[in-house]
Structure 1
Amino acid sequence: MELDDLYRRVIMDHYKNPRNRGTLDEESVTVNLNNPTCGDRISLQLQVEGGIVKQAKFTGEGCSISMSSASMMTEAVTGKTTEEALELAERFSTFIKGEPAEFEELEDIEALSGVSKFPARIKCATLSWNALRKGIEHQNQ
Structure 2
Amino acid sequence: MSFNNLDTLYRQVIMDHYKKPRNKGVLEDGNLTIDMNNPTCGDRIRLTMKVEDQKVVDAKFEGEGCSISMSSASMMTQAIKGKDIETAVKLSKTFSEMIQGNEYDDTLDLGDIEALQGVSKFPARIKCATLAWKAMEKGLKE
- One-letter amino acid matched to 1:62: G
Report how far residue 5 of structure 1 moved: 0.4
Secondary structure of the 2:82 match is coil
- One-letter amino acid matched to 1:64: S
**Aligned counterpart, 1:19:** 22
Q: Answer whether contact 1:103 1:109 (CA < 8 A) is retained.
A: no
Which runs of 5 or more structure 2 residues have no equivalent in the other structure?
A: none
TM-score scaled by length of structure 1? 0.94
Does 1:130 pair with 2:134? Answer: yes
Which runs of 5 or more structure 1 residues have no equivalent in the other structure?
A: none
* Separation in structure 1 between the aligned mates of residue 55 and residue 117 of structure 2, nearest angstrom: 28
* Separation in structure 2 between the aligned mates of residue 106 and residue 134 of structure 1, nearest angstrom: 21
Secondary structure of the 1:33 match is strand
Secondary structure of the 2:112 match is helix
- One-letter amino acid matched to 1:81: D
Secondary structure of the 1:60 match is strand
TM-score scaled by length of structure 2? 0.93
| Identity value in percent | 60
**Aligned counterpart, 1:72:** 75
Deviations 1:36-92 (A, max 9, x none): 000000000110000000001000000000000000000000000001101111111
> For 1:83-102, what aligned pairs fall within 5 Å after superposition?
83-101=86-104, 102=106
C-alpha RMSD over aligned residues: 1.2
* Separation in structure 2 between the aligned mates of residue 39 and residue 112 of structure 1, nearest angstrom: 20
Q: Answer whether contact 1:75 1:106 (CA < 8 A) is retained.
A: no
**Aligned counterpart, 2:58:** 55
Structure 1 window deviating more from structure 2 (13-22 vs 97-106): it is: 97-106
Q: How many equivalent residue pairs?
A: 138
